[in-house]
Amino acid sequence: MKLSRYSWKLVGLLVLLGFTAFFFVPVVWVLLATTKTDHQLTSSGPFAFGSFHSFTAAWHALFGFDAGAMTSWLENSAIYSFGGVVLAILAAVPAGYGLALTQFIGRKTLLAVTLVTMIMPATALVLPLFLEMNSVRLTDTPWSVILPFSFFPFGVYLCYIFFSSTIPKDLLAAARVDGCDEWGVFRHVALPLARPVVALVAFFAFVADWNNYYLPFVMLSDNSKLPVQVGLEYLISSTAAFNPGNPGAGTELVKRPELALAVLVAIAPVAIVFLFAQRTLVKGMLAGATKE
């Protein structure tokens, strides 16, 4: 019996190690690719280290591409993402509170619509959003990306779960007895207690907004307004590998180490936010899991 139990644990460990290698090995390859020249990527081993000189050259070439387009794309992503996060929090937290702790006509219907919208693919909503933004003449402007980013039904659902399972209703009732109106109860009692879930909503909204490709791709046509995720597609189409034997095409070509570095630069902000917010995220995910 003990041997069989240990055998299953060993099998489970091997499966976990296999999945870890499956996701970790490509990341290692991308990291090492930034230290090589374009020729070394095809001639040396996949996990061979190049040189710091090659990394520095790839860095300068990437941020010098198209008159500093990479810097502009990163700035655009930051504006779109943080703008969308602020609006998403302003909409999701009061909506979750209202759905969880107040009674009004159509409450259950609104909650059901929120859940249905949450499970819909985001790409399915891009065309209606484009038509809506086009009707008010906001396409090809930052607002055509920021305003749809503020629509975050998953954040509403997270806040609904938190407020319905964590906030003691007796505490809210005591605040009302002391003279607080509904806005005062929310602002002075519920909102301070909801800091963990607010941070959780902010993180998920930031990751979704930063990694969103299809919505900015449809809404924006000006290259200077693109976020970094759409800019990566532009870089891929500009690599020498996609333009063989065409050195006189009139466009600046990007080498593959520079493209690998662009991928790392694009994911770095999300990784940094995650590293600094781990403790807060854990508190937010565990909020409501237990009752005292």
194-204: average pLDDT: 88
pLDDT for 274: 84
pLDDT for 286: 57
Which range, 31-40, 43-52, 213-222, 245-254, has the best average confidence (pLDDT)? 213-222
In the chain, where the domains are located: 55-286
pLDDT for 249: 44
Which H, E and C letters describe the chain, residue by residue? CHHHHHHHHHHHHHHHHHHHHHHHHHHHHHHHHCCCCHHHHHHCCCCCCCCHHHHHHHHHHHHHCCCCHHHHHHHHHHHHHHHHHHHHHHHHHHHHHHHHHCCCCCHHHHHHHHHHHHHCCHHHHHHHHHHHHHHCCCCCCCHHHHHHHCCCHHHHHHHHHHHHHCCCHHHHHHHHHCCCCHHHHHHHHHHHHCHHHHHHHHHHHHHHHHHCCHHHHHHCCCHHHCCHHHHHHHHHHCEHHHCCCCCCCCCCCECHHHHHHHHHHHHHHHHHHHHHCHHHHHHHHHCCCCCC
pLDDT for 283: 61
In tens, the pLDDT along 14-40 reads: 889 988 888 888 888 888 888 888 788
- The class that CATH gives domain 55-286 is mainly alpha
Is the pLDDT at 248 greater than 70? The verdict is no
pLDDT for 284: 55
pLDDT for 33: 87
